[in-house]
Amino acid sequence: MKRCQQERYSGRSFSKSEILEIKEIIATCCRLSRTELANTICELLEWKRPTGRLKTVECRQFLEYLEKQGYFKLPERKAGRPVGSKTHVGRSKRAGFGEPISGEASQYRPLKLVRVESKEQRNLWYEYIDRYHYLGYQLPYGAQIRYFIESEKLPGEFLGCMQFSSPAWKMSARDRWIGWNEVQRKENLQKIINQSRFLIFPWVKVKNLASAALAVAIRAVPEDWQNIYGYRPVLLETLVDAGRYAGTCYKAANWICAGETTGRGRMDRENKLKGKAPKQIYLYPLTKKFRPQLQAQQEGIWD
């Protein structure tokens, strides 16, 4: 076992005594699942969001990080649907192919994003994405917010869907563009959020609608993310399959193409999928001071 030292993860530093407490909980509560352990540790260490919710996702990731560092051995993962796995999504008449909608984006302004909150909304969102997005519906990684795109001139008539979720762990082109080091990346990664799904329905043929919807998202999403998760993102990212799309709407909305992925996938931390499906990386700074915030580093906490 590794000798205890100070560690920092997801914006929080952990003292040697806290690491020892975590080790003791892992040893004592070996029958608990990884998620139950994370909840227990969050409660003990009062690791919560400003909203009062436990940081279960971040804590579980931290435990897995500590395991890799040799501090302890976690219980085996329980069988279940892994992140990114396909899941069965039902079919309903409401999500069927709609009547054609055409014209210019100016005809449908103002646009708004409708937060997906109820079970009924979630099921409808899953179905739209599963039926009409080329990647289908997959379990997202970490935190997420989902939306429907709606025009106030067509109330109740959805035009598309979006999802924002946790960022990619590592992307060389993005990380070079930001200019941060490993410590800074680990400390500030949560300040980035990923637009992991974007769909304009195939029966909606409205010129410039996609870039107009992106403009609405840039204004709305940071505030929603802060209200739900307790911190405000400073950078948006997304991945575009250049074999399918030219990224025109992102360019029109002033997103920056920072390069291309290695094709490993967003969360392929063990480098098993290199070269499988390279995608273009588009980034959108949400503040002029995004680099200083992403490069911020607390001193004296890393051995």
Looking at residue 282, what is its pLDDT? 98
What percentage of the chain has pLDDT greater than the value 90?
50
pTM for this model (two decimals)? 0.72
Looking at residue 5, what is its pLDDT? 75
b/e per residue 148-175 (b: at least 16 CB within 10 A): bbbbeeeeeebbbbbbbbbbbebbebbb
Write out pLDDT tens, residues 205-232.
999 999 999 999 999 999 999 988 888 9
CA–CA distance, 105 with 208 (Å, rounded to integer): 6
The residue-averaged pLDDT of 188-217 equals 95
Looking at residue 264, what is its pLDDT? 54
CA–CA distance, 160 with 124 (Å, rounded to integer): 12
Euclidean distance between the first and final Cα of the chain, in Å? 17
**Would you say the C-alpha torsion 257, 261, 263, 269 has a positive or negative sign?**
negative
- CB contact set of 20 (below 8 Å; sequence gap of 6+): 4
CA–CA distance, 100 with 202 (Å, rounded to integer): 9
Least confident of 23-32, 60-69, 248-257: 23-32
Write out pLDDT tens, residues 263-303.
755 444 444 544 457 899 999 999 999 999 999 976 533 33
CA–CA distance, 117 with 66 (Å, rounded to integer): 34
190 sits in the region (left: phi over 0; alpha: psi -120 to 50; else beta) called: alpha
Looking at residue 271, what is its pLDDT? 46
